[in-house]
């Protein structure tokens, strides 16, 4: 990935969350087409937009282009009664030269950004070259563990065999999504919670011994 500041944002929309098809079509016009038609031709260098539903990241080769886009974006969204959630938007230095530039400017280590449940960060390969790496977002992992623990508590009347089948399906889905290169240490807390919660909750489900 080139050395690009990223603008990440989540839109505040007027539609219901279950109407994702309409939301996606709406943002395709408001954001995607506008970016390709009006923004990119005015940039001095490369620019990219990656969007999934109402989450998006924008990459620029030049910091000056990123700053210009950051200034224009709120005006574009305001025309459609939309806005960027400021607490989820940031401009960062990212890519193969990010570490060098951050050190030169005294900014410390390159920042990270969250997208689609992963925290993206600047890493290095075994050969010492830049490599984009991803790990499970701490926020998403915390939510997943809490959700799993709550699910255990709702299984008071569920047969053990049925519960075990559902639990395995939940874990398979988690590992299939998050089980990517560089992320193997982080999916395991889900397994650790299962190892500890399963026996504890299993004891609660068992009837007290008579006599």
Write the CATH number for 109. Answer: 3.30.70
What pLDDT was estimated at residue 58? Answer: 96
Residue 180: which residues within 8 A CB-CB, separation 6 or more?
134
pLDDT computed for residue 119 by the predictor: 95
Among 84, 80, 81, CA closest to 70: 84
Backbone angles phi, psi at 133, to 5 degrees: -125, 155
DSSP letter, residue 208: P
What pLDDT does 193 receive?
Answer: 54
Number of domains in the chain: 2
Report if residue 1 sits inside a domain: no
Of 136, 159, 177, the residue at which a domain comes to its end is 136
Interhelix angle for 138-153 vs 160-178, to 10°? 170
Query: Looking up tokens 């990459």, which residue turns up?
Result: 59
22: domain range? 6-136
pLDDT in tens, the chain (211 residues): 444 444 444 444 444 555 677 888 889 999 999 999 999 999 999 999 999 988 899 999 999 999 999 999 999 999 999 998 888 888 999 999 999 999 999 989 999 999 999 999 999 998 989 999 999 999 988 888 888 888 888 888 888 888 889 888 988 888 899 988 888 765 555 555 555 555 555 555 555 555 4
| Residue-level pLDDT at 195 | 54
Angle 188-205/138-153 helices, nearest 10 degrees?
20
Looking at the structure, do residues 62 and 119 belong to the same domain, yes or no?
A: yes
Report the C-alpha gap between 51 and 31 in whole angstroms: 9
* Segment holding 131, helix H or strand E: strand 130-136
Which of residues 84, 110, 136 is at a domain's end? 136
Given 136, 164, 184, the domain boundary residue is 136
Residues 187 and 96 in one domain: no
Gyration radius (Cα) of the chain, Å: 22
Is 22 found in the same domain as 116? yes
DSSP state of 84: B
């Amino acid at each position: 990935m080139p050395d690009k500041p990223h603008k990440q944002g989540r839109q505040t929309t007027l539609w219901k969350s279950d109407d994702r098809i309409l939301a996606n079509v709406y943002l395709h016009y408001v954001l995607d087409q506008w970016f390709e038609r009006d923004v990119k031709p005015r940039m001095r260098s490369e620019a990219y937009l990656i969007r999934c539903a109402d989450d998006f990241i924008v990459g620029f080769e030049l910091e000056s282009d990123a700053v210009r886009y950051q200034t224009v974006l709120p005006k574009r969204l305001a025309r459609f009664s939309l806005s960027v959630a400021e607490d989820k938007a940031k401009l960062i230095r990212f890519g193969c030269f990010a570490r060098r530039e951050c050190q030169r400017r005294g900014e410390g280590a390159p920042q990270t950004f969250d997208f689609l449940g992963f925290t993206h960060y600047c890493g290095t390969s075994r050969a010492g070259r830049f490599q984009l790496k991803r790990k499970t977002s701490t926020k998403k992992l915390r939510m997943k563990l809490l959700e799993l623990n709550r699910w255990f508590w709702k299984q008071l009347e569920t047969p053990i065999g049925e519960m075990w089948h559902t639990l395995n399906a939940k874990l398979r889905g988690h590992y299939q999504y998050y089980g990517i290169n560089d992320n193997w240490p982080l999916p395991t807390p889900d397994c650790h919670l299962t190892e500890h919660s399963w026996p504890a909750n299993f004891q609660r489900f068992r009837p007290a011994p008579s006599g």
